Structure 1
């Protein structure tokens, strides 16, 4: 199948005036379009989410996410590799592996160096004393949120995570001062994630934010902020390494909370381990 940009070029003359506005933006800004959600693309092209949805389906994609994934893939082809700092198309596989591993290690080390122990202590106290723990994250950041849920689910803490934005929003409005939320966003400015964060703040829910940008809206909405650092300057490549740092932060919070809870959570962990073991041959 042709790339999204090729499909748009091929069908451009047959598109409606509204669809041409969307197509023109995507063709001229494929990277930005691949990182946008449907609301952002509709806003920047002065159209509607319905128009964007109809266009991508006209091109043969099942939904907007499928379209943006295909668009993102075209940005990762060899001719576009300069967006990855320090990686050249002529590098050997071993050299590429070394650079990726080194960057990943630096991201985790820089993240740890930038977090004060007092911040960990404040966050852990919020977590172990909360009534319910909600984990929120969308797009690439949903990986860290889901990983955190999978870990805290093994403890006696009542926790939840849902991948769907609407469900996250509904869960956010049900939380209160006695609860706690961990909100993850690499950029710290995803519109839907910020809507969740704003809802949590209105409900006076303590928010632990994990983002790569200390001046981002998410950081400003958070009671406690952890900055996932990386040594990359490009948004896309930076997201690769900051995800590892986000996972390390979540792992650290889980382990600290588990140790501090002691016997209170040992039975829950043991019961979960036993039931999982019973499914293995």
Structure 2
């Protein structure tokens, strides 16, 4: 079961004010959630029972009862606060930075695993395996994730392409057609250029897979298949470090899932490309 606390935390920036008050109250009172009725929750947050229900449904639950059960299940496994998740501080030694960033990177990946839907991953893998062409697109740090993905697809002898120039990518989006796939990568889900390319690809019949933060952001709503990630981008960790780690992790999951589904042929392709690359290395 997904960690509902992580899910709600990831959704905060996408919620309407009333829903956000409910989510923040729940996160603050997770340990007492079993004793809080839907009526009391609505009263304490100055909202309504309908708002509570709407929040639960936006998080993927049938209602408050199911959300509360998920929170109770997750609460039992919540560890004590780890100081290694604190922000970078002045004068830290290299060993401390290594330990702190390693713990934080691990947390980004673990939290993403909590919000990533296996069903959506299965749908994405099926679409990618059946794709005639696969295009990857992202802007800024997401463009590096897209380039890494395209490189992996080439190793599997999959027809793929990636461009860093938004105008060239928009032109490429026009050439996509039914049977092709666009993987659109944007942590916010609101990047203008990425939305334009996704809309163009969808208009021409291609399947759009999005990789975004949790929530009903514009790109997630537009996509045929939506994959969620979550990462802390606070303090000195701003600069898309966490989102890049989480997005790359999802690409690796898709890549390894494709290999698993088509194991014999995939292994042959990987061995062939590895041998070719090894021959180019200097002893």
User: Normalization by structure 1: what TM-score?
Assistant: 0.65
Question: Relative to structure 2, which stretch is displaced further, 167-176 or 86-95?
Answer: 86-95
Instruction: Tell me the residue number matched to 1:221.
Output: 222
Verify: 1:87 aligned to 2:68, yes or no. no
Instruction: Tell me the residue number matched to 1:32.
Output: none
Distance 1:266 1:95, change over 3 A: closer
Tell me how far 1:266 sits from its aligned partner.
3.5
User: Which secondary structure state, in structure 1, belongs to the residue aligned with residue 182 of structure 2?
Assistant: strand
User: Normalization by structure 2: what TM-score?
Assistant: 0.65
Tell me how far 1:248 sits from its aligned partner.
0.7
Instruction: Tell me the residue number matched to 1:245.
Output: 246
Instruction: Tell me the residue number matched to 2:122.
Output: 121
User: Which secondary structure state, in structure 1, belongs to the residue aligned with residue 155 of structure 2?
Assistant: coil
The runs of 5 or more residues in structure 2 that have no matched partner are 1-84
How far apart in 1 are the matches of 2:269 and 2:97? 42
How far apart in 1 are the matches of 2:114 and 2:214? 15
Tell me how far 1:91 sits from its aligned partner.
3.3
Instruction: Tell me the residue number matched to 1:49.
Output: none
How far apart in 2 are the matches of 1:100 and 1:149? 27
- Does structure 1 conserve the Cα–Cα contact (< 8 Å) formed by 2:155 and 2:273? yes
**1:98-150, CA deviations, whole angstroms, 9 ceiling, x for partnerless residues?**
22221111000000111122111111000001111111111110111011011
Q: How does 1:181-196 map to 2 (within 5 A)?
A: 181-196=182-197
- Does structure 1 conserve the Cα–Cα contact (< 8 Å) formed by 2:111 and 2:231? yes
- Does structure 2 conserve the Cα–Cα contact (< 8 Å) formed by 1:184 and 1:211? yes
The runs of 5 or more residues in structure 1 that have no matched partner are 1-83
Verify: 1:166 aligned to 2:167, yes or no. yes
Instruction: Tell me the residue number matched to 2:4.
Output: none
Instruction: Tell me the residue number matched to 2:137.
Output: 136
- Does structure 2 conserve the Cα–Cα contact (< 8 Å) formed by 1:188 and 1:216? yes
Instruction: Let me know the Cα RMSD of the aligned residues.
Output: 2.1
- Does structure 1 conserve the Cα–Cα contact (< 8 Å) formed by 2:88 and 2:236? no
Instruction: Tell me the residue number matched to 1:22.
Output: none
User: Which secondary structure state, in structure 1, belongs to the residue aligned with residue 199 of structure 2?
Assistant: helix
User: Which secondary structure state, in structure 2, belongs to the residue aligned with residue 173 of structure 1?
Assistant: helix
Tell me how far 1:156 sits from its aligned partner.
2.8
